[in-house]
Every structure is written in C-alpha cells, then in structure tokens.
C-alpha cells in the first residue's frame, strides 16, 4: 500500500514537470503575471503623481526671407549696368522707355532719333556728359524726334551746344514736344539749351553759363507754344536769345544776371519766319548785366552791351512785371536790328508794370531812322530815368505820342573794349553747384514730353514782380 502511494506521488510530479495540459500552464502564467502587476499597482497607488507636462509655448513663425532689393524698380535701361554707353541705351530704347544714367563722366555725343523717351541722370551734379572741347563732339545731346525729355544731368565742354532739339524746316518737319528739366549746361561753345524749329516745349529748373552766344536759345518757331521758367542764366554773351520766335512763348519767372547782355528777342534773315513777334516776358529778375568776365560772341551784340533787355527788330511782345535793376548801361532798350542790307524795325511792343532801378538808363527808345514810336508803348512802370525823358508820358499805351526828339542812337551804349573778353572754356559757372537735383529721380516714372500743353488763357495775373532777393 505504501509503495502504491509513493508511485502515485512520483507520477504526479513527473506530469507537473512536463507541462501537460493547457489549462494548467495558463493558470500558472496568469498567477505569475497577476502577482507582478499587483505589486506595480501598489507602487502606483502609493507614489506621488507626476506633474502634467507644461504646454509648450506656441513657436513664433519663422520670418519670411526678405525679397532681394529691386535695384531697377522703374524697369529702366541702366547705364552703365545694362549698357556701356548712353548712346547704346538710347538706341535700344522704345517709346515710353526711361534711360537712367548712373554717376560718372561720359565722353560721348548722344543722338536721339526715337520718339517719346526720357533720358535721366541719377544726380544732376555727378552725371556729366563732357565733350572735352573736341570738334568731334558738337553736341552733348541732339534730339531729332518728338516727345523727348532730358532730366537731371550736366552737359559741358561741347564744341557747339549742350542740349539741342531741332526739326528740319527744309523737309517740313517741326519737332513737337520737348522738355529739359534740372540740367546744367556749362561752357559749350555756342548755346547751352537750344530749341530750333520746335514747338510745345518746356525748359525749367535749369542753369546755363559760359556760352559765346546764349545760355538759352529759341529760334524759328511760330507759334512756339513753349515755356521757359525757373531757370538761371549767367556768364554768357547773352542770357536768352529768341530769333524769329514767338506765339504762345512765355519766358517767365527766370533770373538773368551777370551776362554781357541779358534778354534779346530779335529778328534775323538767317532763319525762317521773320520777323520775331508775339512773346511774353513776365516775372523775371534781370539784373547786373554788363559783365566783362564773359565770352564775347560777336561785334553786333557789343552795340547792346550792358543792357538788361534789348528788343532789336522785335514785334508785338509783352514785357510786364519784371524787376530790371543794376544793369550797367540800360534796363530795357527798343531798337531796330541791322542785318546786312536789311533794317528790321521794332514795332508794337508793350512795356508795362515793370520795376526799374539802378540801371544806366532804365528805359530807352532808340531812334529807328527818324520813325515815330511805331506802336511801342510804356505804362505803369516804376522808373528813375529814360530816353526820351518821361517815356511813360511820351510813349503811352493809351494816348497820343509826345515829343521823341531826345531819342538816342544805336551806338549810345559804348562797348567795353576788345580786351575784355574771356574764352568760353575758361568762364566761371559760380551758380552751378547750388542747383538742386530732381527730387524724385530714382522713383518717378518716365514721363515723355508727348502731352502737349494748352496755352489758351495763360494766367499772367498770377505772375508778380520778383522781390530781388
């Protein structure tokens, strides 16, 4: 019996060691797991709860990468960035384009034959076209096309002209639309800024010095339909000359000083459309002319040396609300114009509401070969001296003429002498550095001169006599 019990026990042990039966195995495993888990659960129950992780602050968005600066916001043809020369850029330009010139000295003569483009420097003083007095470079910029504007640069030392706009009378081409703004024209042999056979123009905020003819010249246009305003002309033979030019031509609010002679609308056979007629000169400060430290442009002009404004062979002009002072020999003189065998008379000019002071003689009527007043008249002027005396009375604009017996001869204004002459290349340009640049040169879109101005009803009443300061 005891043996049987031993055998049964051994059998049970063997069966257990061999893992017989799935239920037995699952139970054992379950028990083991349960024991382990229950220990962990106990630990969890007694342990301090871990603090909840803090919410991370919302990250700031990464900044957008900056767009590279647009160094050409106006979509301009840049010189020298895109084109080595101004001429190359001008040749590539199409109507409406802007040629934008960076700082530098450009020894070239530019020819423009494309309509409605704008040529602009980034800075008036440091963008310089220099002809170096070479006969190979006659003009700084010559324009043969309509609607072109030249802005914000300097042209100097050219053998003929600084900036020149010209039509072609022989082919019936009249240039229409031009503008010159914020430009210095210095020491060019003939003219500073020159418009010829051209109409609908504007010349404003410019400076001209050191020319053997005139700082500004308008010639052969009728009607000119042009305005010259806010310009300064000094140290030239003539400040302004307008041969055979008139008709809606307004020379207003300028300063003409320190020239050999000041302002000269005139008639000559050398150009078409004679005689000169129909220009308005108003609000100008014409002073201190009769400067010997200037080029001598020709003997004929020596007859008017030291006169602020002379009207030789000029017709139907209005001279009003100007300050004319401190001119060496005369303020205003009306005279005939000798031109070879031709004797051009000055007729029907109106001199009114001007202020004269400190001139050799304020107002002068030159004897035109024994002719009477020929419709020239004076009224409302502030005068100190005149020939004939009391000129507002003897040549009134609203009454009969008086005694003209003390008119003077054309040779009254004695020339200063041949030794008083400075070569044009050596003439000073003292006011050049003071001239401002175009205020928005780097941002203003191109504005060609193709929008033609209206001149009906020009508001002369808005123009006042300058203060002289």
Q: Is residue 153 part of a domain?
A: yes
Q: Is residue 23 part of a domain?
A: no
Give pLDDT, residue 67. Answer: 55
Residues 312 and 435 in one domain: yes
Residues 257 and 149 in one domain: no
Q: Is residue 21 part of a domain?
A: no
Q: Is residue 360 part of a domain?
A: yes
Q: Is residue 74 part of a domain?
A: no
* H or E stretch covering 8: helix 2-17
Helix, strand and coil in the chain, % to nearest 5:
15, 35, 50
Q: How many domains does the chain have?
A: 2
Structural domain of 176: 103-205
Residues 148 and 286 in one domain: no
Give pLDDT, residue 66. Answer: 61
Q: Is residue 26 part of a domain?
A: no
The DSSP result for 341-358, as a single string, is TEEEPPBS-EEES-EEES
Can you count the helices (H) and strands (E) in the chain? 5, 33
Give pLDDT, residue 133. Answer: 97
pLDDT digit string (tens) for the chain, length 469 residues? 333 333 334 333 333 433 433 333 343 333 333 333 444 343 444 445 555 555 555 556 666 656 555 677 789 999 999 999 999 999 999 999 999 999 999 999 999 999 999 999 999 999 999 999 999 999 999 999 999 999 999 999 999 999 999 999 888 999 999 999 999 999 999 999 999 999 999 999 999 999 999 999 999 999 999 999 999 999 999 999 999 999 999 999 999 999 999 999 999 999 999 999 999 999 999 999 999 999 988 777 888 999 999 999 999 999 999 999 999 999 999 999 999 889 999 999 999 999 999 999 999 999 998 888 999 999 999 999 999 999 999 999 999 999 999 999 888 776 666 567 899 999 999 999 999 999 999 999 999 999 988 887 788 899 999 999 7
Q: Is residue 279 part of a domain?
A: yes
Residues 252 and 397 in one domain: yes
The residue among 178, 205, 232 that closes a domain is 205
Give pLDDT, residue 4. Answer: 33
CA 371 to chain centre: 45
Nearest by Cα to 215 from 177, 256, 179, 274? 256
The residue among 205, 235, 256 that closes a domain is 205
Distance CA 326, CA 258 (A): 10
Residues 196 and 225 in one domain: no
Give pLDDT, residue 7. Answer: 32
The residue among 156, 180, 205 that closes a domain is 205
Residues 285 and 328 in one domain: yes
Q: Is residue 56 part of a domain?
A: no
């Amino acid at each position: 019996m005891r043996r049987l019990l031993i055998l049964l026990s051994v059998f049970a042990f063997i069966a257990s060691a061999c893992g017989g039966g799935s239920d037995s195995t699952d139970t054992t495993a379950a028990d083991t797991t349960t024991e382990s888990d229950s220990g962990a659960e106990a630990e969890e129950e007694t342990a301090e709860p871990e603090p909840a992780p803090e919410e991370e602050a919302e990250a700031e968005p990464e900044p957008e990468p900056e767009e590279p600066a647009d160094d050409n916001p106006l979509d301009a043809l840049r010189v020298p960035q895109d084109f080595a020369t101004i001429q190359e850029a001008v040749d590539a330009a199409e109507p409406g384009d802007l040629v934008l010139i960076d700082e530098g000295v450009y020894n070239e003569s530019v020819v423009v034959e494309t309509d409605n483009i704008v040529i602009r420097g980034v800075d008036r003083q440091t963008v310089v076209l220099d002809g170096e007095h070479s006969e190979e470079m006659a003009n700084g910029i010559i324009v043969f096309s309509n609607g072109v504007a030249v802005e914000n640069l300097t042209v100097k030392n050219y053998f003929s002209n600084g900036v020149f706009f010209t039509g072609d009378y022989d082919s019936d081409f009249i240039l229409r639309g031009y503008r010159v703004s914020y430009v210095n024209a210095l020491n060019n042999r003939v003219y500073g800024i020159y418009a010829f056979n051209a109409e609908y123009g504007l010349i404003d905020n410019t400076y001209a010095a050191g020319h053997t003819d005139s700082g500004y010249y308008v010639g052969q246009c009728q009607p000119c339909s042009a305005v010259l305003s806010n310009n300064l002309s000094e140290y030239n033979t003539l400040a302004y000359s307008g041969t055979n030019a008139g008709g809606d031509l307004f020379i207003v609010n300028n300063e003409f000083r320190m020239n050999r002679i000041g302002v000269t609308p005139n008639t000559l056979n050398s150009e078409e459309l004679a005689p000169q007629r129909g220009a308005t000169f108003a609000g100008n400060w014409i002073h201190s002319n009769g400067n010997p430290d200037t080029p001598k442009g020709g003997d004929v002009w020596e007859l008017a040396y030291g006169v602020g404004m002379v009207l030789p062979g000029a017709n139907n002009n209005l001279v009003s609300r100007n300050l004319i002072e401190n001119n060496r020999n005369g303020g205003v003189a009306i005279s005939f114009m000798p031109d070879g065998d031709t004797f051009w008379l000055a007729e029907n000019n109106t001199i009114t509401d001007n202020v004269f002071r400190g001139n050799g003689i304020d107002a002068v009527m030159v004897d035109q070969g024994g002719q009477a007043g020929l419709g020239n008249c004076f009224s409302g002027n502030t005068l100190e001296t005149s020939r004939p005396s009391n000129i507002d009375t003897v040549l009134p604009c609203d009454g009969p003429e008086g005694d003209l017996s003390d008119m003077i001869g054309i040779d009254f204004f004695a020339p200063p002498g041949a030794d008083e002459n400075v070569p044009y290349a050596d003439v000073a340009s003292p006011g050049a550095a003071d001239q401002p640049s175009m205020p928005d040169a780097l941002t203003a879109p191109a504005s060609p001169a193709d929008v033609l101005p209206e001149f009906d009803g020009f508001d002369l009443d808005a123009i006042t006599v300058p203060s002289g300061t």
